[in-house]
Each structure stands twice: as structure tokens, then as C-alpha cells.
Amino acid sequence: MAGPRVHPMREVRSMFNLFGRRSKSRSKLVFPAPKEPQTPSISTQDALEQEISQELTGPPLPNESQMRQDREAVKAENAKVYARDLNFDGEIRLLRIQPGSGPLFASLEYASLESAPAYDALSYCWGAQQQMEPVTIDDKDDFRLSRHLHSAMLRLRRPDRVRLIWIDVICVNQANIAERNRSVQLMWKIYANAHRVIVWVGETEPEAPTCKRLFAGESHHETQLVWCTQPGLAALEHDHVTKKLGDTLQTLEWQSATNGGDVWWKRLWVIQEFSRAKHHPTVYVGPHAINWAFFAQLMRTESHDRLPLFHHLRTREEQSLLQLLFMAKDFYCSDPRDRIYALLGLVKGGQTTILPDYSEPVPRVYEDATLYLIQSEGNLDVLLDGRLERDGGGYPTWVPHFTQLRDRALVRSKDGYEAGLGEPSVSLVPAMRSNSLHLGCAACHSATGRALRLKAVPFGSIASRSTENTLPAPDSTHRTILTRHGQIQKAELSRPLQTLEQVLDELKVDFSRDTALPLDRATGIGYLILDYMFGGLRSAVDEYTRIDHVRFGDAEKQRAVKEMDRLAAKLGIHLTAARKLDMTLTAVWENAFLTVRHKAIYTPDHDTRRLLLGDHQEMYHVPAKLRRRDFFATSDGFIGMGPATLEVGDEVIVPFGASRPFVIRRHGDHYVLIGDAVVPGIMSGQLVNLCNEGSVQAKDYLLR
């Protein structure tokens, strides 16, 4: 007599076990002893930073190497103006801009930050530095500044009295590494203690006189300010100022994108400068002084807001360094080290173990930052960035690209992946030159920094994989399509589950063979398609529930059932209720999946809405790098999905403290990280639980 029928959704949840039990064992983080200071040779560091800066700081400038040398020469020459070094950690320099209307004259004074007189602090973008202007400071007339900053000083100079102001490039000796290091640690306090913060956007009308309006803070009525844009006399004198300033800001942004410069609202350092100000800053655009609210209005259009992060920063909500790095990943900095250093003053609690040191090469700074993030977050998910190729121009493959970080919520997905239950066990291993670095792998050639030793449970090697050419072309239009490689393909999807059949034919999994691991070896193609399509934004389990309740037409259902039976007989698959449901889901979503994989364009809800509502949404482009993922099968016959750069022979491991399995590649005495994988059946810590029970053994892996 047959036993009671188990509902397919219960079997699905059991098969994927997305809510597996949490291990109580907690591994220990091991961090290296304090390191000796290292100062790389100029030639090595220059070459390395030139290669890295293109990816981390924005588009390269023309003759960038020569420009870097020119900047260093300017720093050395400007250093002659300083009478002495800063004597103690809390000492700062302040710039006194002398009143007048001719050439700029200024002087420096020294003060304790805690007892300094009222001063302003300038927040600005250094701008393109091909054109420099001289200014006289302490009777030395050869201090050179970018034309952008020189214009700011002209606008901020008062006609009848001194302005006391702090400007980083002048008040900090840029040629003195130790002084720069100390000043970066003080930066947040310098802006927090300033009487006012002034934002300089850029010069727009060099010949126009500066508007003579009451400036923020110069009246005892702090809230009763007269601006260039306020109703009344000011507005009459500045006809059409709203449209004029809006057009000006668009022009500045366009010029920045074309001449290698930058604009204030894209510079990384301004995040800290803005957020630490006592009040909203005053914004100068050429001759006009405007309040922050009006500036924010000008920066907002019906379809785009250029300042979303700035609105969030004024809430004073404390953030971790990883959260800050993620929010600021689209901002630019001229020194790649500032990708980390510019955010330290905003970290919740105000303390990190990272100390700014501009004598350190960029890869070492990033290695230390990555280790800190693993420690502070208690997981390894920071390593799983949005890159497809992990040949990051000079540092190890395990160091993430900080401008392509992924939200951890998406890495874990709505279904709460916890493949590596527990906390990470990691340590740094000093760099070693090895002959194994020359084996033809692009990722391996960049693996010259320190190695990351991590503890993980081995899962198996990749025995076979699919490619884009494995997959049939989608059939949404019944016309030919242009693939990502520029090839014309005819629509081939002529029957349900054709994708499933072609993938399984390519992977050559023997479902009749027993596995070495006591885990459920699910086909799970439908689940992997959903993970691919949803990108962590929606729950695959919820979609199983929805599909289980959808009533399909008799003809459509009969076709799908017929194909299921045929494929099960052909491939030797035992059709449980859960596997039938997974195949049904594959049939519903396969065309959408093929569209994205071939064309990198899709609306994730398109097929669902068409199926249920008859709604045809406009499609949008999907980042190709995030969508270039392919199926693979391990030597034990487990099916998963990983980056398109994986190869047969790569290994799948589950590191402690990682939400997803890692795909790694051996190179001599070490491994390189290829990317992350999804494998139904181990995404909730099942493999780690087997390790804790003694069924499998963990081991140490050395990633370079």
C-alpha cells in the first residue's frame, strides 16, 4: 500500500534545505603580527599604481605617468613654504587669505585643533591639474595650485578683511608622508570643528564679480540668510538663476567627463567632509552663493538624483566600513589608497585597526583592509565582488575590487544562503615568488601579494561544464537574435525543457551512480535558473510555491509532462514530486533565462507578468559580467552554477564563514579565486554540518 503523499513543496524544502540548522562551533580568526614598515621603490610603486588607478579611481588621464611625476615635483617645491613640521597630533595649519582684489596673498598660522580660532573648511575637488597657478604664501610667490582651487580662493577672498580657512592641499605638507598620515586621521574632526564648511563647485563666469550677499554665519541671525536665489531683490538681480545654474552644473559634469577632471559631488573625500559639517554647507558656483537645499534641488531631475548618498548622510546613522565602501563605490579618488582612508572617519564607533599610511603600496593597503572587513563583518562575503575576471592589475585574486562590491543581502539572497556556517578562520601569509606563477592563467599573474590562508571543506572538482553555445536560442519573438558574440542564431527553443536536456547532455551526469557524500544530489536546473534570474532580489522558494499553485492549460501541461517522462527515462532520473516541480519551473522560466544569457537584456518579471497578466513590459539591459554564468557538474555528479571563467579541473570548496561556495584553481603551491557558485543541496551549511559530525574533513587553502 502506498504511503501518504508528501506535498512537493515540503520535498523541495527538504531537497534544497535552505533553512538548515546553524552550527554552534565557532572558528577563530587569526590575524598577522604587526608588520615592519615597507617603502617600495618609486619605480615599482608608480608602475603598480598606474595599472591599478584606471580601475579604482576612474578613467586614465593622458600621459598619466608624466602627470604623476609632475605632481610629485609640485609637492616637493611647495614644501619649501612650510616653516616647520606640525609638532603634535592635534596641531593644524590654517590659511589666512589676505583681503584685496589683485593677486592672491596668504599666510599660514599654527594652532591646536581644540583651541583654534573660528575657521572655515573648504570642500572641493582638486580638478584637472594640467594647469597650475601661483599664489604667494608667507612671502614665497611660487606655491602652485590647480587653477580650480586658485579660482575658489579668488571667490572666497573678502575685499576688506582676512578669511581664515583650512584647505587640505595647502595646510598639509603633501610631500611629508608622516604628516599626511596624521592629518587623514584628524580630517573628520577638522570639518566637525569648522565654523562653516564651504563647498566650491567650480568657476563659471570668471569675469563676473562675486555676489555681495550676506554669507552664512556672518549674521547673528543664523537662519535669516540672504542668498542669490532668495525671493526679493536678490532674485530680481539674478534673472533666470535657477535655469542658469542648472545648465551650468550639467556643463561642469560634461566637461569633467571629457577632460579628465572631476566634479565635487563625485569626489570620495567630500562624503566625510559633508557628513561631519555642523550645518549644511554653503555652496559656491562661480560668483553665486546658494544654500544646500537649493543646490540639492538643482541636482535633481524627474529621472535622476545626483545626490542620493548625501541625503542619507545627514541622518547621522552609523555605518560599518563595508557599508560605507558599498555606498561610495561610484565615487572617485586620485589616490587609490583613499578608497579606504577617505571613509575611516565615518566608521561607526569611530575606531578601526586601519591606520592611514601613504608609504604603503596600494595592494598592501587593500589586503589589510580586506582582512579587517572579514574580521569586522564575521564572514568572507566581501571577497565576492561583481567582477567576472579577477586579474586585478597587481594584487591577489582574493582582494575584492572596492568599486564593484556586492550587497551582502544579494550574496546571501532572499533564501538566506549559509553554505559555510560559522565564522571564518583566516590568516595572512607573506608574499612568495614562485615559478608556479607562470602557468598561463591571467588571474595567476596578478597573484604576487600576500596569500590568504582560509579553512574550508572540499566539495569536489568540476568534471564538466556548459557554455553559452550549449544553450538553445530563446524563442520569444520567433525571429533570429544577435548573440553577445555578434553571431546570428535562429530561435531554437521548440519544445518544453529543451534547455534542461541540452545542459544535462553536456554535463554528462550519471544519475544512477551513488555519491561519496550523504547529500541529496538534486538536478535543480530550475532552481539555478531562478537564482540566476533573481540575482538575490527575490526568493526562489517563493517561486516554487507560486508555480505549484498555477493552473496550466491542458495542452501545455501534457506537453511538459510528456517531456519530463521522456527525459527521466533517457537520463535515468527518478522523478520525485520535487523534481517534477523543478522541471515545471524550468519549463516556465527557460525562455527568460535564455534571453538574458544570450542577450544580457531582460525584465526579471517579464515572463511571469506575461503568463499571469498578459502584460508586456519594456525590457532593460542587464550587466553582462553579472550574467555570464554557466552550469557545471562535479566529479560526484552535483550540478551547480558558477562564473563563465571556470574550467574543468577547478575545485569547489565551502569556506567557513562564506554564504556561497567558492570556485578555486590550483597553481603550484597555492590557489587563485575564480568566483562564487550555487549548488542546490549545500547552500544551508549541510557540508559544514557533515564536517562537524566527522563525515568529511576541512583543510587549509592558500589563496593568492
Convert 530-572 into a string of H (helix), E (strand) and C (coil).
HHHHHCCCCCHHHHHHHHHHCCCCHHHHHHHHHHHHHHHHHHC
Using one digit for the tens of pLDDT, what is the confidence trace for 422-439? 999 999 998 765 444 433
Q: What's 260's DSSP letter?
A: S
For the chain, percent of residues with pLDDT exceeding 90: 45
Q: Which residue has the higher pLDDT, 464 or 16?
A: 464
- DSSP-assigned letters across all residues of 563-616: HHHHHHHHHT----HHHHHHHHHHHHHHHHHHHHHHHSB--TTHHHHHHHH---
Band of pLDDT at residue 373, cut at 50, 70 and 90: very high
Cα-flanking dihedrals φ and ψ of residue 275, to 5°? -70, -25
pLDDT at position 556 is 65
Helix or strand run (H / E) with residue 332: none
Q: Which residue has the higher pLDDT, 217 or 497?
A: 497
Band of pLDDT at residue 52, cut at 50, 70 and 90: very low
Residues with Cβ within 8 Å of 221's Cβ and at least 6 positions away in sequence, in order, are none
Where does 306-361 have alpha helices with state H? Answer: 308-313, 321-327, 338-341
- Mean pLDDT for 636-662 is 97
Taking 70 as the threshold, does the pLDDT of residue 169 lie above it? yes
Per-residue burial over 57-79, b = 16 or more CB atoms within 10 Å of its CB, e = otherwise: bbeebeeeeebbeebeebbeebe
- Which of 48-52, 76-80, 141-145, 284-288 is predicted with the least confidence, judged by mean pLDDT? 48-52
Contacts 24+ apart (CB under 8 A), 609-618: 611/550, 612/550
Taking 60 as the threshold, does the pLDDT of residue 481 lie above it? no
- Mean pLDDT for 502-517 is 87
Closest C-alpha among 536, 533, 601 to residue 384: 536
Contact 672, 443 (CB under 8 A): yes
Contact 180, 75 (CB under 8 A): no
Helix or strand run (H / E) with residue 96: strand 91-97
pLDDT at position 639 is 96
Grid cell in block for residue 483: 548573440
Closest C-alpha among 123, 127, 372 to residue 271: 123
Q: Which residue has the higher pLDDT, 405 or 515?
A: 405
Q: Which residue has the higher pLDDT, 398 or 523?
A: 398
pLDDT at position 597 is 83
Contact 609, 615 (CB under 8 A): yes
pLDDT at position 171 is 98
Where does 61-111 have alpha helices with state H? Answer: 64-78
Task: Give the residues across from 144 on adjacent strands.
Answer: 134
Band of pLDDT at residue 484, cut at 50, 70 and 90: very low
Taking 60 as the threshold, does the pLDDT of residue 490 lie above it? no
pLDDT at position 507 is 95
> Average pLDDT over the chain, rounded to whole?
79
Band of pLDDT at residue 456, cut at 50, 70 and 90: very high
- Which of 304-313, 466-475, 580-589, 656-665 is predicted with the least confidence, judged by mean pLDDT? 304-313
Taking 80 as the threshold, does the pLDDT of residue 362 lie above it? yes
Task: Give the residues across from 451 on adjacent strands.
Answer: 429
Closest C-alpha among 37, 675, 677 to residue 392: 675
State the Cα torsion 110-113-118-120 to the nearest 10°.
90
d(CA 319, CA 313): 10
Taking 70 as the threshold, does the pLDDT of residue 398 lie above it? yes
- Mean pLDDT for 455-483 is 77
- Mean pLDDT for 489-499 is 69
pLDDT at position 2 is 41
Using one digit for the tens of pLDDT, what is the confidence trace for 599-646? 766 554 544 444 444 444 444 445 555 578 999 999 999 999 999 999
pLDDT at position 211 is 75
Taking 60 as the threshold, does the pLDDT of residue 305 lie above it? yes
pLDDT at position 21 is 36
Grid cell in block for residue 106: 596668504
Band of pLDDT at residue 557, cut at 50, 70 and 90: low
Q: Where are the beta strands (DSSP E) in 125-190?
A: 132-137, 140-146, 163-166
For the chain, percent of residues with pLDDT exceeding 70: 74
Q: Which residue has the higher pLDDT, 279 or 604?
A: 279
d(CA 292, CA 285): 12
Band of pLDDT at residue 336, cut at 50, 70 and 90: very high
Band of pLDDT at residue 512, cut at 50, 70 and 90: confident
Grid cell in block for residue 172: 598639509
Highest mean pLDDT out of 13-27, 621-635, 644-658: 644-658
CA distances from 448 to 371, 399, 434, 495 (A): 17, 12, 9, 50
- Residue 390 one-letter amino acid: R
Grid cell in block for residue 512: 544512477
Band of pLDDT at residue 551, cut at 50, 70 and 90: low
**Cβ-based burial of 249 (10 A; exposed 0-12, middle 13-18, buried ≥19):** buried
- Which of 29-38, 84-93, 460-469, 538-547 is predicted with the least confidence, judged by mean pLDDT? 29-38
Residues with Cβ within 8 Å of 332's Cβ and at least 6 positions away in sequence, in order, are 57, 58, 262, 266, 267, 268
pLDDT at position 349 is 76
**Cβ-based burial of 230 (10 A; exposed 0-12, middle 13-18, buried ≥19):** middle
What proportions of the chain, in percent to the nearest 5, are helix, strand and coil?
Answer: 35, 15, 45
Taking 80 as the threshold, does the pLDDT of residue 445 lie above it? no
Instruction: Label residue 32 left, alpha or beta by phi (over 0 means left) and psi (-120 to 50 means alpha).
Output: beta
pLDDT at position 33 is 35
Half-sphere exposure of 195 (CA within 13 A, CB side): 17
Contact 427, 31 (CB under 8 A): yes
**Cβ-based burial of 492 (10 A; exposed 0-12, middle 13-18, buried ≥19):** middle
- Mean pLDDT for 251-276 is 81
Taking 80 as the threshold, does the pLDDT of residue 80 lie above it? yes
Band of pLDDT at residue 309, cut at 50, 70 and 90: confident
Closest C-alpha among 425, 367, 369 to residue 397: 367
pLDDT at position 315 is 65
d(CA 73, CA 144): 11
